[in-house]
Amino acid sequence: MPDVSWALGRATELAERGPQHGGNPRVGCVLLAADGAVVSEGWHGGAGTAHAEAAALAGADPARLRGATAVVTLEPCHHSGRTPPCSRALHAAGIARVVHAVGDPDPVASGGARWLAGQGVDVLTAEDAGVPVDVTGRAARVSAAWVTAMRRRRPWVVGKSAMSLDGRVAAADGTSRWITGAAARTHAHTVRADVDAVVVGTGTVLTDDPALTARRADGTLACHQPLRVVVGRRAVPPGAALRQAPGDWLHLPTRDLRAALDQLWDAGVRRVLVEGGPTLLSRALREHLVDELHAYLAPVLLGGGLPAVTDLGVSTLAGAPRWRPVTTRTLGEDLLVVAHRPEGDL
C-alpha cells in the first residue's frame, strides 16, 4: 500500500491553502498510483471553484489513475451543486481506493463514501488505513470549524479582543486607539478577510465608528470583504462609516444573540468574527456561543478603564472553564493567543 500517512499530511498542507470563508470546507487531495508515486494533488480554493478531488483529477495523467488511491481530508461529496459530485468523478477515473480523514456532516453533500463503496471502491477512514493519530488529528482540524458549524447548524464564532497586558480594551477616559501595534492590527484584518461576517455591538459603532472592512497594511481593501453586522437595539447613525464602506452591512436590532446567529446562518454565514465590544463579547461567552478566542495582548498597562470581558457568571476559580491554547505568536511587540473552547462544550 502506498504511504497514505504521508499523503494525508500533504493533503492537509494543501487544504490549509484554501479560504475559511464562503461556506465551503477547506479540503486537500493527493492521488497516489498503485506503486505509491504521487500522480497529482489539489485543494479547494473556495465556493464556485473546483473541489480538491476534481482539481487533482484535472491535473493527472488519466492513464495513471487506474487502480490509484485518492487520499482526502474530507469524505468526497456526492451531490451536484456548482460543481459535479466528486464521488462519481473519482469512480469514473478508475480510482480503486479512497482514504478520508473526516466524514461529511452536510446532509446535502454527504453519502460519497457509501456510494463509492457500493461501486466496489475500497473506502477507508484514515484511522482504518492505519494513519497515525497525530496526522489524522491535523487533517481533521483543517475542516473542524466548518464540520462543527454544519453539525450544529450555527456559525463557528471567533471572538476577538485587543487588550492591554492587564486586560483592558479602553483607558479610563475611553480612548482605545490603538492599544495594539501595526502588525497585530494587520493580522486582525487578515482574519476579517477570512470570515463570512464581522459582528460588533451598537456600543462599538457609537463609540468608535469603525468601517469594519478588511484592509491590507497599505490601507487598500482585501479581495474578500465580510458582511458587516451590528447587533443591538439602538439605531446605526445615518453617517456611520460602516454604512459608507463598500460591500454589504446589516443591522440586527436585537439582543438575542442566538437568534442573530440563526439569522446569519440562514443568510449563508458559516464563520463569524465577533469583534466586541466587551458587552457583546461577554454575552456571547456567557451564552457559550464563542468557539475560538483571539486575544491580542499589547505590552501596555492601563490600570483602569474598560475590561475586555465583564461578568461571565464565574464565581470561583474552580468553576472557570480552561480554554485550550491552539497557537501563540508574537506580532511586532504584541502577542496573539488563539484558544478553543474546552472540548465537550461545543
Ligand X SMILES: NC(=O)c1ccc[n+]([C@@H]2O[C@H](COP(=O)([O-])OP(=O)(O)OC[C@H]3O[C@@H](n4cnc5c(N)ncnc54)[C@H](OP(=O)(O)O)[C@@H]3O)[C@@H](O)[C@H]2O)c1
Region from 23-31, 111-119, 130-138, 275-283 binding ligand X, contact rule CB under 6 A: 275-283
Q: Does 232 bind ligand X (CB under 6 A)?
A: yes
Query: Does 21 appear as a known binding residue?
Result: no
162 is in an annotated binding site: yes
Rule CB under 6 A: say whether 195 interacts with ligand X: no
Crossing angle of the two packed helices 278-286 and 257-266, in degrees rounded to 10:
90
Would the annotation count 212 as a binding residue? yes
Q: What minimum distance in Å lies between the beta carbon of 235 and ligand X?
A: 8
Residue selected from 34, 93, 279, 337 as contacting ligand X according to rule CB under 6 A: 279
CB of 69 or CB of 202, closer to ligand X: 202
Interface residue with ligand X among 66, 151, 153, 234 (CB under 6 A) is 234
Indicate the residue type of 278.
Answer: P
Q: Which residues are known to be catalytic?
A: 53
The verdict on 136 binding ligand X (CB under 6 A) reads: no
CB 26 within 8 A of CB 140: no
Which span sits near ligand X by CB under 6 A: 61-69, 167-175, 191-199, 212-220? Answer: 167-175
Nearer residue to ligand X within complex by CB, 142 or 308: 308
Q: Quick check: 240 binds ligand X (CB under 6 A)? A: no
CA–CA separation, 131 vs 3, rounded Å? 9
Q: Count CA atoms closer than 13 A to 251's CA, side-chain side.
A: 14
Residue 208 lies near ligand X (rule: CB under 6 A): yes
Which region among 33-41, 46-54, 123-131, 279-287 touches ligand X (by CB under 6 A)?
279-287
**Cell numbers describing residue 64:** 495513471
Tell me if 307 contacts ligand X by CB under 6 A.
Answer: no
89 is a site residue for ligand X (CB under 6 A): no
Distance between CA atoms of 118 and 121, rounded to whole angstroms? 7
Site for ligand X contains 304 (CB under 6 A)? no
Identify any residues that bridge with 297 across adjacent strands, giving them in sequence order: 163, 335
CA distance 40 to 329: 34
Q: What is the DSSP string of 33-93?
A: -TTS-EEEEEE--STTSPPHHHHHHHTS-GGG-TT-EEEEEEPPP-S-SSS--HHHHHHHH
Using rule CB under 6 A, residue 109 touches ligand X: no
Is 129 assigned a ligand-binding role in the annotation? no
215 assigned to a ligand binding site? yes
Size of the site for ligand X (CB under 6 A): 28
Residues in the chain: 346
For the CB of residue 222, give the shortest distance to ligand X in the complex, in Å: 19
The amino acid at 203: G
Among 113, 257, 264, 274, binds ligand X (CB under 6 A): 257
169 lies in the site for ligand X, by CB under 6 A: yes
Integer CA distances (angstroms), 29 to 25, 33, 78, 108, 145, in order: 13, 13, 16, 21, 19
The answer to the question of residue 278 lying near ligand X (CB under 6 A) is yes
Mark 307-322 as b/e (b = at least 16 C-beta within 10 Å): bbbeeeeeeeeeeeee
Binding site for ligand X (CB under 6 A): 161-162, 169-170, 174, 176, 179, 200-204, 207-208, 231-234, 255, 257, 275-280, 283, 306
The binding site for NADP(+) comprises 162, 178, 204, 208
